[in-house]
Structure 1
Amino acid sequence: MSSVIDFRSDTVTRPTNAMRIAMSGAAVGDDVYGDDPTVNALEAKMAALTGMESAMLVASGTQSNLVALLTHCGRGDEYIVGQNYHTHLYESGGAASLGSIVPQPVAVEADGSLDLEKIKAVIKPDDVHYAHSKLLSLENTHSGKVLSNAYLQSAIALARTHKMATHLDGARVFNAAVAQQLSVADITAPFDTVSVCCSKGLGAPIGSVLCGPRDFIHAARRWRKMVGGGMRQAGIIAAAIDYALDHHVNRLADDHAHAQQLQHSLGDIAELKVDAAHTNMLYIEFTSAELGLAAGDYLREHGVIISAGKRVRLVTHLDINTQDVLRFVSLLKQFFLERSSA
């Protein structure tokens, strides 16, 4: 196991020894034929956890969102989405490129939500001149920020008023649930579909799960196959996710606490601007990109990795503990001390 401390993302976690044991002992079959018992059990479990009828294991969060959009929308249909949400900005434009689905981005508010009036303003009338507004796609958490259930219910109600379906990119929805002391289903069940990423805070090495109505998931399996997502003995992956669901959910509160610890410990460094921590994410800002890059190089030389630049996201996760946080803060303080005395 590497001793490097990596704050770049919660995607960098490695399977624990217990998770590896669970993977090695998984019963497997051919999932494309529906014959993998571990996958089938995981899909049933995740459907129940999210309050949905059915679920489907896929390789990644990007693939899960893409398949959801392709199933919800036909060629020339439109989905309304946050300008900075992953389904629009960070997933290579797959919906437009592969599905000829028209994105209608809306500016994201400071709390991670989309203003309901702004959503309403871009919903198209039933007119041949316009794309058909078919789907509202939200994201929870967004940059670590939790969207309240009251807001989500209002947004879903607005979509239904206009006969639009709703999809939640719930890559970190377990973080949102733990932060609010809610069940995941409390957040996800009102949506038509939800994508849950298991290779982030949950600590599995690979995999996401798309959840929704039984007929929808049946149709989504064709799209999964079309985009190359049909997997064979995927029970090895499913076993890791199942282990994470049993052992890594409640401990997300530790990640949130470590982000808070980072915020408080970095707050007395005059050379930094430190934003408020949200769930397992914190943003810091150096006075210049050059300074941030220099800090990144210094930290890497001492066994700590960050996404270096002027504005830097720090993410806590399964492989970050209290001592790691203290070491990072100490090294950053030492970096500024050495520069000031040079």
Structure 2
Amino acid sequence: MDLRSDTVTEPTDEMRRAMYEAEVGDAARGDDPTVRQLEEEAAAILGKEAALLVPSGTMGNLVAMLTWVRRAEEIIADWRAHIVQSEAGGLGGVVGAMVRTIVTDDGILRPRAIEEAIRAPSVLAPRTALVAIEETHNFAGGTVWRVEEVDAAAEVAHRHGIPVHMDGARLFNAAVALGVPAARIVQAVDSVMFCLSKGLSAPIGSVLVGSRDFIEEARRRRQMVGGAMRQAGVIAAAGIVALRTMISRLAEDHARARALAERLAGTPGIRVSPPPVTNMVMVDVAGTGLSAAEFGKRLAEGHNVWALPVGPSVLRLVTHRHVDDEDVERAAQAIRAVAQSRAA
């Protein structure tokens, strides 16, 4: 049972058929009709003017940063943001940007903290060029930015003439959890990237969305980093099916994450924090005396349940389409067994 990430999801039969039958063209030149259809549908779903297919979420974020930020300028982000922790230093190595991080408990940047982080104009300091937010916030445990929190962050940034980019890798998880359209969540942001290849179960691809002018410039930046593809309709076809059929079922993943957390409650040495809101369960195993890496190793070798260490004592478990109710129970039993064997 692989609970390391929702990126392990495999395409549905409908996606496979759509990929096989996809009409294709040269996507790098804008001639692939299936790619164009995906981009148009993605933009419409999020209430923006245009969209751009990219191979991965990391590239989507990188392209957005290259479009908004110039060398030696600064980006404001949470200290545990994916763009800071898990994108191979692309902000510094490729964009040439500095990052000013804000320490939070839940990944939500409050207006006052953003205000204080924005640089006053000075020849001595880097210029604040972008505020980057993450929905849902990965390493904070799948926490959700509420609509009013996104609006408040954007209001501060825009008052200073600074755009806002949302790493919306799991944006649709947030929309389902909040019970609001994804377009409303991103209404105030200037660009947003979302992944097709996580809980939506497409095999490849992410989409960058924004104004028409932004996307035209982003298209140049995508070319720069090698993200332009040829007959990419075979990828886009699965993405179209994902957008049309896979969003509403994310509620099942959220319910199973909550069920897993409930089944772990009261287990000696185990603490679930924060309580799951979407499809992530953060399990602190410090009380067992084991590191997260060692606990995860015992879980995998002894019970064939895989979890991802995301800190010295914290394991991340992610529910997804291939995890059913029986799997939730088996995972809980396996975690309890490792914890109890350690206690014994």
2:131 counterpart of 1:132? no
- Gapped regions of structure 1 (runs ≥ 5): none
Cα distance in 2, alignment partners of residues 196 and 64 from structure 1: 8
> How many residue pairs end up in the alignment?
336
Residue in structure 2 matched with residue 64 of structure 1 by the alignment: 60
Cα distance in 2, alignment partners of residues 277 and 194 from structure 1: 24
- Secondary structure at the counterpart of residue 305 of structure 1: coil
Identity of aligned residues (%): 41
Note if contact 1:299-1:331 (Cα within 8 Å) is conserved in structure 2: no
- Gapped regions of structure 2 (runs ≥ 5): none
Residue in structure 2 matched with residue 122 of structure 1 by the alignment: 117
Residue in structure 1 matched with residue 166 of structure 2 by the alignment: 168
1:73 to 61, 69, 81: 69
Residue in structure 2 matched with residue 302 of structure 1 by the alignment: 303
Question: For residues 1-342 of structure 1, what are the structure 2 equivalents within 5 Å?
Answer: 5-107=1-103, 109-142=104-137, 143-275=141-273, 276-286=275-285, 287-290=288-291, 293-294=294-295, 296-307=297-308, 310-338=313-341
Note if contact 1:6-1:304 (Cα within 8 Å) is conserved in structure 2: yes
Note if contact 2:280-2:317 (Cα within 8 Å) is conserved in structure 1: yes
Note if contact 1:67-1:223 (Cα within 8 Å) is conserved in structure 2: yes
User: CA 1:98/1:17 → structure 2, altered by over 3 Å: closer, same or farther?
Assistant: same
Cα distance in 1, alignment partners of residues 332 and 77 from structure 2: 36
Query: Amino acid of the residue matched to residue 214 of structure 1?
Result: R
Across the aligned residues of Structure 1 and Structure 2, the Cα RMSD in angstroms comes to 1.7
Query: Amino acid of the residue matched to residue 315 of structure 1?
Result: V
1:298, distance to aligned residue in structure 2 (A)? 4.2
**TM-score, L = length of structure 1:** 0.94
1:23, distance to aligned residue in structure 2 (A)? 1.1
Query: Amino acid of the residue matched to residue 108 of structure 2?
Result: S
User: CA 1:295/1:120 → structure 2, altered by over 3 Å: closer, same or farther?
Assistant: closer
User: CA 1:263/1:38 → structure 2, altered by over 3 Å: closer, same or farther?
Assistant: same
1:131, distance to aligned residue in structure 2 (A)? 1.3
Cα distance in 2, alignment partners of residues 36 and 238 from structure 1: 9
User: CA 1:76/1:258 → structure 2, altered by over 3 Å: closer, same or farther?
Assistant: same
- Secondary structure at the counterpart of residue 156 of structure 1: helix
